[in-house]
């Protein structure tokens, strides 16, 4: 019986030509990094297993693996492999090209009680690796796959190091407190209590409860029925406070899956697949998602809770007022 490792090996073998071509190019660009083709192939094989294999029964096709290899930031990966092996020239190159950037990121993120330099030192030690397992030094560089740019990866490493530093210096700290103290943070806006005047008096407590329950259940159900990318869009916009241009940045890459999911049936996309994603595009995606939620919310209130048109309006109005109570609709996303 063929094991998962054997199947994976077979896939890699079928892509050998692609790997060799990428390796030759990298080696020509940096011949003194001392990275062997075997090491390079080993690193790619690990990444294929991590990113593309969902289990023994769900292996990627050869063309998917080839596409994956071609999409890798190969020069960055080559540098990382060499640094993981402790190659002096590669470390010099890394230090020369990226230290300034690391310092700027760290200074930008570190709050007053955290020393940016301390974080940089800590990250350098992690990148080099001080732990030795079975005679092999565990360098953090070995965890970089080349799927994203090395600078993007370094940003993430610095961010995480800062969170670790913050946790180490604050024994008991909430998740929000921890993450809001690192970086630019965000503000939770509170919902304004709307005064609906006399209408409020018309609705007695019992029916208020009934509507509240129906609203909560229906909103939950409508949100849960969304696809994950739609949920994530709403969460980024409302919960994380990302601006439209920031979400656009996330979907900017021509191959971005977010872009694919939202524009799957778009004629404009078919005509120009790499067209820029503008803020107005994100607004349209949001509008579409709100429409889906509203449709399913109303449908649910009608079919499951047997409410009429007027009652649906009452539910919505009550819901806007109830949002002033932070406990009423808590954990919608985590319960979805």
Partner 1 sequence: MNNKGNNREELIREVLGGILRQSTSSVAFEDADHLDNDVMAAFVEGNLSEREAKPVTTHLVDCSFCRHKSAELVRLDLRFAEEQIEAPSADSEPAKVSDVLSGILGKIFGAGEGAVFAHQDDEAVEKKEKDEEE
Interface residue with partner 1, options 156, 169, 274, 280 (CB under 8 A): 156
Residue 26 contacts partner 1 per CB under 8 A: no
Among residue numbers 248 through 267, which ones bind partner 1 (CB under 8 A)?
Answer: 249-253, 255-261
Q: Is 76 helix (H, G, I), strand (E, B) or coil?
A: helix
Q: How far apart are CA 18 and CA 130, in angstroms?
A: 34
Distance of CA 147 to the CA centre of its chain: 13
Residue 188 contacts partner 1 per CB under 8 A: yes
Q: How far is the CB of 136 from partner 1 (least distance, A)?
A: 11
* Cβ proximity of 77 and 141 under 8 Å: no
Phi, psi of 132 (to 5 degrees): -115, 125
Q: How far is the CB of 41 from partner 1 (least distance, A)?
A: 18
Residue 4 contacts partner 1 per CB under 8 A: no
Strand partners, 133: 136
Interface residue with partner 1, options 7, 16, 167, 278 (CB under 8 A): 167
Residue 107 contacts partner 1 per CB under 8 A: no
Report the candidate in 8, 142, 134, 157 with the shortest Cα–Cα distance to residue 79.
Answer: 142
Interface residue with partner 1, options 40, 223, 262, 285 (CB under 8 A): 223
For partner 1, the closer of residues 24 and 194 by Cβ is 194
* Cβ proximity of 117 and 104 under 8 Å: no
Among residue numbers 84 through 103, which ones bind partner 1 (CB under 8 A)?
Answer: 86, 88-89, 91-93, 95-97, 100-101
Residue 242 contacts partner 1 per CB under 8 A: yes
Residue 319 contacts partner 1 per CB under 8 A: yes
* Cβ proximity of 222 and 297 under 8 Å: yes
């Amino acid at each position: 019986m063929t094991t998962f490792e054997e199947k994976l090996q077979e896939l890699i073998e079928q892509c050998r030509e692609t790997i060799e071509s990428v390796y030759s190019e990298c080696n020509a660009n940096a011949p003194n990094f001392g990275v062997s083709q075997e090491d390079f192939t080993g690193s790619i094989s690990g990444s294929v297993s991590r990113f593309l294999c969902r289990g023994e029964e769900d292996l990627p096709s050869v063309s998917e693996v080839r596409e994956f290899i071609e999409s890798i930031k190969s020069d960055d990966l080559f540098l990382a492999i060499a640094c993981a092996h402790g190659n002096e020239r590669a470390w010099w190159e890394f230090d020369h090209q990226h230290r300034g950037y690391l310092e700027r990121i760290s200074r930008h993120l570190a709050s007053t009680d955290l020393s940016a330099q301390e974080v940089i030192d800590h990250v350098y030690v992690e990148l080099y690796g001080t732990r030795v397992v079975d005679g092999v030094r565990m360098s953090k560089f070995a965890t970089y796959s080349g799927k994203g740019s090395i600078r993007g990866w370094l940003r993430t490493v610095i961010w995480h190091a800062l969170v670790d530093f913050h946790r180490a210096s604050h024994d008991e700290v909430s998740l929000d407190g921890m993450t809001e103290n690192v970086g630019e943070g965000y503000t939770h806006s509170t919902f304004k209590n709307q005064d609906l005047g006399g209408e409020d008096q018309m609705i007695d407590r019992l029916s208020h409860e009934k509507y509240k329950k129906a609203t909560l259940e229906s909103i939950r159900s409508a949100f849960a029925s969304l696809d994950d990318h739609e949920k994530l869009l709403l969460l980024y916009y409302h919960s994380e406070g990302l601006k439209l241009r920031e979400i656009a940045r996330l979907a900017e890459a021509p191959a971005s899956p977010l872009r694919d999911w939202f524009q799957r049936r778009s004629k404009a996309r078919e005509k120009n697949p790499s067209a820029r994603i503008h803020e107005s595009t994100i607004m349209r995606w949001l509008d579409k998602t709100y429409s889906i939620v509203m449709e399913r919310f109303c449908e649910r209130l009608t079919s499951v809770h047997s409410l009429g048109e007027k009652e649906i309006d009452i539910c919505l109005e009550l819901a806007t007022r109830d949002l002033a109570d932070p406990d009423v609709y808590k954990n919608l996303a985590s319960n979805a």
